[in-house]
Amino acid sequence: MMETTSENDAVNSKLIPVTLDANFFFERAVRSLDRFQYDKALKHFRKAVEYEPDNPVNHCNMAGILSEMGKYEASNDILAQVLETIDPGMTECHFYMANNYANMESFEEAERALVTYLEEDAKGEFLAESEELMELLQYELDRPAPLNRIKSREGVVEHDRARALLEAGQFTQAVGLLEEIVSATPDFLAAHNNLALAYFYMGRFAKARECISEVLEQDSGNLHALCNLAIFLQYEGDRDQLTGLVRMLEATVPFHQEHVFKLATTMGILGRHRTAYGHFRRLLKDEEVGGDASLYHYCAAAASNSGLYAEAQRCWRQVTKLDPESVVPQFFLAQLEQAQSEGIEMPLVSYNYQLPFQEKLKLWKDNKGSFAEEVKTNPLLRSSFFWALRYGDTNTKLQVTEALRWIDDAEMSEILQDLLSQQPLQEEKLQEAALLSLQKLIGSGPVENAPLQQDPEPAPLFQKGQPEWKEDWQRVIDQTASMMDRRYDAGQKKDAEQLWQQFIGRLYPDVPYIRHAEGWCAALEYLTAKLHKRPVTFREVAQRYGVTESMVSRYAKRIAAECEIN
C-alpha cells in the first residue's frame, strides 16, 4: 500500500499545473487566429471574457473576430455593451461600430457612430482612416456630415509637419516642433509617441522613456507606446522588463490595420518572426493593402526567418508578379533555392524591401571599416553585391562599384575585372567607376587606360528618354501637366516634372508600383504649389483628381521625404 502511494506521488510530481484564466484562453485564441480558425478563436475569446468580464479589451477582441467573420451586428452589440456598461471612455468602439455599419451598408448609422467618434476621441488614433470613411459616407449619402468639431484635430497640422521632419531624419527640428505640440495639447498621444522616437534616434534614451511613460499613464494599453517601449528595452538590454512586455504583445490581437502593421513590424525587430508572420498574413487578407508587393516581402522575410521556407517562396513569387521589375524577390528566391539545395538554413532576411547591400549603403560612407568587415562575414550581404554586379541596372552597378573601393577583397577584384572585360562596356560612367575601384583594390598605381584620377560624380538622376524610364512614370508627368494647364505657368509645370524625375531617381531601382497615378499626380501638384507659395489644400487637389485627402497627404509626404523638401 505504501509502495502504491509512493508511485502515485512520483507521477503527480511530474504533472505541470494548468491555470485556467483569461490569459490562458487569450493565448489559445491567438494560436487559433494564426491558423485562421476563427470559430475556435471566438470560442476562446468568449472564455477569456467569462474569466475577466470587466476587461474591455477582451470584449473588443471578441467583437473584432466577429467583424472579420462578417457578423457585423453581433460585433456591434458587443461594442455597444462595452460603451454602455464596461468602459464608456473607449471611444474607439464608435469607430469600430462605424466600420461595421458601413459594411452592412447602413450608412446613416455609420455616419452617426463616426461623428460621435470624431467629436469625443481625444487621441485621434484613427483620424486618417476616419477621413477616408467620411468621404465614402458623404458620397453614399450625397451630403456632408453634420460634424461640429474634431476633438483630436488640435495640433494635427503641426504634427504632420513634425512627422515629415522625423521621416526625413531632421530629428532636432522634429523634436522642437513636437515639444511645442505636447506642451499645448498634453493629451495628443500620437505626438508623445513620435517625440519619444525622435529622442531615441538622437540618443536621448532617458527622455524617450519619459515620453513613453507619459503616454502609458494616460492610456496603459496604447499599442504604439508599448511597441516603442519594447524596442527601447531591447536596445538597452533590459531583459527582465522586456520578457513580460513581449509576452503581452504576443498575446495581443489588434483590431485595426494600422495596429496590426505596427505590431507585426515590432515583432520582426524584436526577433519574434513567427508572431510577425502571423500578423503579416492577416494583413495580406485585407483587400486594401493585400496587393502591395512590399507587404508580401515582409511576410516572406518573416516566414523565412521562422524556417517556413515554402511559404517564403510562395510570397516572393507573388512579389515577382506584383512588381516584375524589382530584382529583390528574384535575389531572395535564388538565395533560398541555393540554401535548400545545400541543406543549410537561410540567413536572416531584413524586412526592408531592397537588396541587402542597398540597405547597408545608406550607412557605409560614415562607417567604412565596419561596413567592409560585414561584407566579408555576412553571406547574404556578400551575395547581394555579386547579384547586383551581374544583374543590376547601371545605377545599381555604379553604387556597388563605388562602395567596393573600401573592401579589400580578392574575389571582389575578380568580379570588377570581369565587369571591365565585358566588350563593349557601353556605360562610360560605370567603366570609370569600376576602373577607379579596381585601382584602389589592387593598390599598384593607376590601372591602364583609367580615364579619371578622382572619384566620379554621383550617379545622375534618371531622366525622361533614358532606357530605364517607364511609361507609367511618364504618365504621371503628362497627366499632372494636363491638369495644371491654364492654372500654372510653363516654369511651374516644368518644376513639377523635374520634381517627379528627382523622386524616381532617388528611389531607383526600388520605385513603387504606380497603382494610383491620380494620387501621385495630386501630390505632385500640391508640392509644386507649395514650393511656389501658392495657397492649396489636400482637399482641393484631392477633389480635382478624384482621390482621397489621405492618399494625397501620404504620397506628398513620401515625395517630400525622398526629395528633402522642407
pLDDT at 470: 78
pLDDT of the residue at 331: 84
Phi-psi region of 449 (alpha: psi -120 to 50; beta: other; left: phi over 0): left
* Cell numbers for 437: 575601384
CA-nearest of 398, 391, 396 to 458 is: 398
Residue 255 has pLDDT above 80, yes or no: no
CA distances (Å), 373 to each of 367, 369, 381, 407, in order?
Answer: 11, 6, 11, 8
Q: Which residues pair with 488 in a beta bridge?
A: 485
E strands, 200-330, where? none
Poorest-confidence range of 54-63, 122-131, 151-160, 535-544?
Answer: 151-160
Contact between 231 and 270 under an 8 Å Cβ cutoff? The reply is yes
Residues 427 and 353: their CA atoms lie apart, in Å, by 27
56 Cβ contact list (under 8 Å, min separation 6): 82, 86, 87, 90
Higher-confidence residue of 74 and 382: namely 74
Query: What's the pTM value of the predicted model, to 2 decimals?
Result: 0.49
Which pLDDT value is given to residue 422?
54
Mean pLDDT over residues 412-438, rounded?
A: 55
For 324-345, write each residue's pLDDT tens digit. 888 888 888 988 998 888 888 8
Q: What is the pLDDT of residue 195?
A: 93
pLDDT digits (tens, 9 = 90+) for 522-538: 999 999 988 888 888 88
Predicted confidence (pLDDT) at residue 302 exceeds the cutoff of 70: yes
The pLDDT score that the predictor gives to residue 318 is 93
Average pLDDT rounded to a whole number, residues 18-35: 71
Q: How confident is the model at residue 475 (pLDDT cuts 50, 70, 90)?
A: confident
Averaged over 398-410, what is the pLDDT? 63
The domains of the chain, with CATH numbers, are 22-152 (1.25.40.10), 156-333 (1.25.40.10), 356-442 (no CATH), 471-563 (1.10.472.10)
pLDDT at 172: 85
Using H for helix, E for strand and C for coil, what is the string for 173-189?
A: HHHHHHHHHHHHCCCCH
Task: Spell 107-128 as b/e; 16+ CB within 10 A means b.
Answer: bebbbbbbbbbbeebebbbbbb
pLDDT at residue 44, as a whole number: 83
What pLDDT sits at residue 465? 39
- Residue 109 has which C-alpha cell? 448609422
Asked if residue 542 has pLDDT above 50, the reply is: yes
Handedness of CA 79, 84, 86, 87 (dihedral sign): positive
Residue pair 284/296 in contact (Cβ under 8 Å)? The answer is yes
Averaged pLDDT for residues 367-394: 63
Strand partners, 485: 488
Measured torsion, CA atoms of residues 226, 227, 229, 234, in degrees rounded to the nearest 10: 140
Residues whose CB falls within 8 Å of the CB of residue 40, separated by 6 or more in sequence, listed in order: 28, 29, 32
| Banded pLDDT at 491 (limits 50, 70, 90) | confident
Give the number of other Cβ atoms within 10 Å of residue 347's Cβ: 15
What is residue 347's predicted lDDT score, i.e. its pLDDT? 87
